[in-house]
Chains A and B, each alone.
Chain A
Amino acid sequence: MSKKNAFKTTGLMKELMANYYAKGVEAKKNGIPVAWVTAVFPVELLYAAGLFPYYPENFGAMAGARKVANQLSEVAETKGYFNDLCAYARCGIGDAYADEHPVGKIIKPDLLLCCNTQCGSLPKWFEAAGRFYNAPYFLLDSPQIVEQPDQLCKQYFVDQLKEMVSFIEEITGKPYDYDRLSEVLALSNEACRLWNEILDSAALKPAPFGFFDACFHMAPIVTWRGTPEAVTYYRALKDEVDERLNKGVYAIPDERYKIYFDHIPVWPKLRWFSDLFANHGALVVASQYTHSWAYSFDLNRPLESLAENYTEQFVNRSFNYRIQLKINFMEKYGVDGFVLFSNRSCKPNAFGLYDKHKVISQKTGLPGVVFDADMSDLRFFSENQVKTRLETFFEQLS
């Protein structure tokens, strides 16, 4: 991901994301309801209804990447929100109360729609935001799949999707358009297919594309999924990846090792990490995080298919499933080692990593390391400590 090696498509992405925020502001002006949604949420239902979906988590990631998460968080902290909460939530809540908006103002919701597969923090943040903005809140509740997916939880989710459709109909004053939903689902399928083909190219040795590139290029699959814009974007990116392969341009200059990384990056240190790995000839090739957007919807049974795709995600799975998923990625991408990020902001992904580290090492024989930090807030980042841990890990590779 070094600067001189930047993708041409980056320019297109910047344009696309600027458009996304402009569209949100415009929606507000034109009376189109802005719905806050969570990253792993059946957003297709909203695009089909003509609502504007806004991702406050994205806002949090942006605040992290621009190294101002602590500044926004401190505003929330003066109100009594402690710094042990999810940093995205602290940034969102902080911005609501702040006088200064270093990453632009978070867009005010007309309604808040939350799916809790990812965690319990999002619903609590959305509840608080619903109270602050005085906007209605709707939770799509998804009990954890402890063993195998079962009919009880699936039916519960489908029932709630129907309740949500009624809720949307009340907001828009129009009957729900299922034909339009089919079109949106098809667009979502296509964007996800392209995105995963791009991610798969990291398995090639040497590879033209890696995890840190994916972190950079993932915003459209999160926010524009279900629109023609996302399809156009990932087609362009796929073409560029193919072109790079033809020309022999690779993600890092001297790829000697492939690494699995779990889960989210440390946003304000993205380049620091990327350079550190590259300097050791190590390319991070996969993470369950960037691979989360791999949906495949059956257009003939849209609600059931939405329920399956969104609830059977790893974020809604338990200990053993998550271990096996990581091992599957490690095998598929032929990695030489794994790095697990114990993220203070994300209990569901962090809790269990110490044991998972041991189990994965035993099962695969691969070297691995766990480091502690926060995805956005640099007050919880000790550069020396993380560097020492990773240097020891790199030594084990060679």
Chain B
Amino acid sequence: MITSQLISYFNETINDHDRFVEQWKRTSGGKVIGFLLTDVPEELIHAAGFFPYGICGSNVGQERVDAHLQNWACSLVRSSFALALQGRLDFLDGLIIPQTCDTTRMVSGIWKHARPLPLMENYLLPRQVDRPSARTYLVGELTRLKGRLENYRGTVITNDEISKSISLYNSNRKLLRRIFSLHEQNPECISNRNLYALIRAALIMPREILNDHLRQLVDALQQDCQSSSAAAQTRLIISGSVIEPLEILDYIDQAGGVVVGDDLQNGWRYIEADVRESGDPLEALADYQINRIPFAAYDTVSNPRRHFLVHLASQKQAQGVIFLHLKYCETENYDYYDNMQAFNKISIPTLRIETEFGGSSMGQLSTRVQAFMEMVGGEV
């Protein structure tokens, strides 16, 4: 298939993801374990023989949540829960919630009460990663989670199975990183919107199918994208929890911007590193988690988030930074002032945009992005 056909395939899949998963379930007879974004060990779920499915929120049906969860909870969690209440996640056999903030921590019990599933688990990842206790605990937590998955499946998960899944996920991350780099070199060949659509596809598609299509896409892109169009573009970093709405990427595309890095849970942060393929696989998963790009769930002493962002911006020669925050997301907001100040110090302009699943005004968003891009682009 040629590039455009492959891109259309991915976009259609994410637009119609429930039908895609239902169809996969019918044909494969497999089980689907959902998870809230994003720091769950998908490799472990996959090793158990299940399809880990990332619940990415939605734009409709949030009013159904009002009876269960206050309207000042973040819209990512509200709209994800709304999907369950609308019956649009009925294909799930289980759900794993990573406790990364107060909302994920508390929605777990509400969800279990309102929409119980055969397997409901929390991933209790440590909220500090700088001291030795964190790693010891995390290996224990991964062992506990593995035990729960084994109970549900009925047999033990072998190290060999985990290692194979790690290898499969690594190959996927490599493919996506390759495409990210092609995008950086030649954004006209693969736009911001399409690049992040691929990463979203990774959250909702089984790796086997995904990798097959991504390989074809890499081949097609390498043929199509010989030249480089990057020089003409304004280089941007996005910082926040998730890309929402995807349309913001269209506005950046239209204004001649290229996103060269981020710390988003469904962006570069999701694909930037691989899990070690030697030694004990659970220890490797623990090390991977501990060394991930810092995010708002906690700051680290060894790699403070603002230092990471400043370093990323310098390394990628970014000309501007967009803070893309979800309304009511406390953790992002606590970091914002100091992150913004860190960019002020190195004279990189920033823009803070607050969005909501199902509640963003596209016209206003487009105008703000365009104005920022004019300001930033003017400094080239």
Residues of A within 8 A of B (CB): 79-82, 84-86, 89, 116, 119-121, 123-125, 127-128, 131, 137, 139, 141, 143-144, 146, 150, 152-153, 155-156, 159-160, 163, 318-320, 342, 344, 347-348, 350-352, 354-355, 359, 372
Find out whether the CB atom of B133 lies under 8 angstroms from the CB atom of A163.
Answer: yes
How many angstroms from the CA of A257 to the CA of B242 in the assembled complex?
49
**B109 within 8 Å of A by Cβ?**
yes
Residues of B within 8 A of A (CB): 67-70, 72-73, 99, 101-103, 105-110, 112-114, 122, 124, 126-128, 131-134, 136-137, 140-141, 144, 296-299, 301, 327-328, 330-331, 333-338, 340, 352
- Answer whether A319 and B109 are a contact pair too, CB < 8 Å, given A80-B352, A81-B337: yes
- The residue among B109, B296, B298, B331 with the most chain A CB atoms within 10 A of its own CB is B109
Find out whether the CB atom of A344 lies under 8 angstroms from the CB atom of B330.
Answer: no
- Answer whether A352 and B102 are a contact pair too, CB < 8 Å, given A124-B335, A152-B137, A156-B137: no
Find out whether the CB atom of A352 lies under 8 angstroms from the CB atom of B334.
Answer: no
- Nearest CB on A from B347, distance (A): 18
Find out whether the CB atom of A351 lies under 8 angstroms from the CB atom of B124.
Answer: no
- Answer whether A156 and B102 are a contact pair too, CB < 8 Å, given A85-B334, A128-B338, A351-B70: no
Find out whether the CB atom of A351 lies under 8 angstroms from the CB atom of B137.
Answer: no
- Nearest CB on A from B114, distance (A): 7
Chain A minimum-CB-distance residue to B134: A141
Find out whether the CB atom of B114 lies under 8 angstroms from the CB atom of A84.
Answer: no
How many angstroms from the CA of A103 to the CA of B33 in the assembled complex?
51
Chain A minimum-CB-distance residue to B66: A354
Given contacts A120-B127, A159-B137, 10 further A-B contacts (CB under 8 A): A120-B101, A121-B334, A125-B334, A141-B128, A153-B137, A160-B133, A319-B112, A319-B113, A347-B330, A355-B114
- Answer whether A342 and B131 are a contact pair too, CB < 8 Å, given A320-B109, A348-B105: no
22 examples of A-B residue contacts, CB within 8 angstroms:
A81-B337, A84-B327, A85-B330, A119-B102, A120-B101, A120-B297, A121-B102, A127-B334, A143-B141, A152-B140, A155-B140, A163-B132, A163-B133, A347-B102, A347-B103, A351-B73, A351-B107, A352-B106, A352-B109, A354-B67, A355-B114, A359-B113
Chain B minimum-CB-distance residue to A143: B124
Contact of B299 among A80, A89, A127, A372 (CB under 8 A): A127
How many angstroms from the CA of A155 to the CA of B328 in the assembled complex?
34
Find out whether the CB atom of A82 lies under 8 angstroms from the CB atom of B333.
Answer: yes
- Answer whether A354 and B69 are a contact pair too, CB < 8 Å, given A120-B102, A143-B99, A156-B136: yes
Number of A-B contacts (CB under 8 A): 135
Chain A minimum-CB-distance residue to B103: A347
How many angstroms from the CA of A370 to the CA of B376 in the assembled complex?
48
How many angstroms from the CA of A343 to the CA of B360 in the assembled complex?
26
**Using Cβ atoms and an 8 Å threshold, which residues of chain A touch B73?**
347, 351
Chain A minimum-CB-distance residue to B69: A351
- Answer whether A123 and B112 are a contact pair too, CB < 8 Å, given A146-B122, A342-B70, A350-B70: no
Find out whether the CB atom of B126 lies under 8 angstroms from the CB atom of A141.
Answer: yes
Chain B minimum-CB-distance residue to A158: B133
Chain B minimum-CB-distance residue to A121: B330
Chain B minimum-CB-distance residue to A131: B338
**Using Cβ atoms and an 8 Å threshold, which residues of chain A touch B132?**
159, 163
**Using Cβ atoms and an 8 Å threshold, which residues of chain B touch A121?**
102, 330, 334
How many angstroms from the CA of A189 to the CA of B32 in the assembled complex?
49
Find out whether the CB atom of A319 lies under 8 angstroms from the CB atom of B108.
Answer: yes
- Answer whether A120 and B107 are a contact pair too, CB < 8 Å, given A80-B337, A141-B126: no
Find out whether the CB atom of B126 lies under 8 angstroms from the CB atom of A351.
Answer: no
Find out whether the CB atom of A139 lies under 8 angstroms from the CB atom of B127.
Answer: yes
